[in-house]
Amino acid sequence: MTQRIVILGAGGHARVVCEALQLSGYEVVGFLDDNPTLAGTTALGLPVLGPIDLAASLAVDGAIVGIGENHVRARLYARLQAWGIPLVRAVHPSAIISTHAALGEGVAVLERAVIEAGARIGANAIINAGAIVPHDCCIGEHAHVAIGGMLAGGVEIGEGCFLGAGAIVIPYKKVGEWSIVGAGAVVTADLPAHVTAVGVPARVIKRHEEA
């Protein structure tokens, strides 16, 4: 029996997640978004049904958060858990995933991404198009490895981290929780939590307050 799924969010990332779900055989019933101007519109021919709180009363088999911003995605993930709505994974058919990798609930793995043996992807994380997660890497919950991000073996990406498009992390380095690595940066040394780092090699340019 085909599972009926609703997507939280109705922007660009939500549409990409929708396509991955449809190609994997799910029935997407529509999108939920708190932007009132989107109510009653469509995305990919599917309705924006209303605000996100509507999820608690919908007759669906599961849901996924289709929003790229990590803090927002983490909050919505917690709301889905509180409502008791199962979280599904969106895995694009072109992605290559080892049978010896572990994927948490609510994960999105998009076009041509590669996840190798021994890698662990935390719940609600995004492995975006063309990203490479080799053997024995650990990606924390709510993290986002953006388009073309490349990790080497044994890398640890903390909870809520954002690794920008085309960024690289060399073997066995760690990026602390809720840190941001800029597009095209090369991480050659461990990075602490709650910082932004950019450049080649990556250097910390900003420290964030803990959320």
**Cβ within 8 Å of residue 106, ≥6 positions away:** 64, 65, 77, 80, 87, 88, 89, 123, 124
**Cβ within 8 Å of residue 169, ≥6 positions away:** 150, 151, 152, 155, 157, 163, 175, 181, 186, 187
SS3 208: coil
Q: Can 135 be counted among the known catalytic residues? A: yes
Of 135, 142, 144, 194, the active-site residue reads 135
Tell me which residue of 123, 121, 131 sits closest to 164, measured CA to CA: 131
Tell me which residue of 108, 75, 79 sits closest to 121, measured CA to CA: 108
Catalytic residues: 135
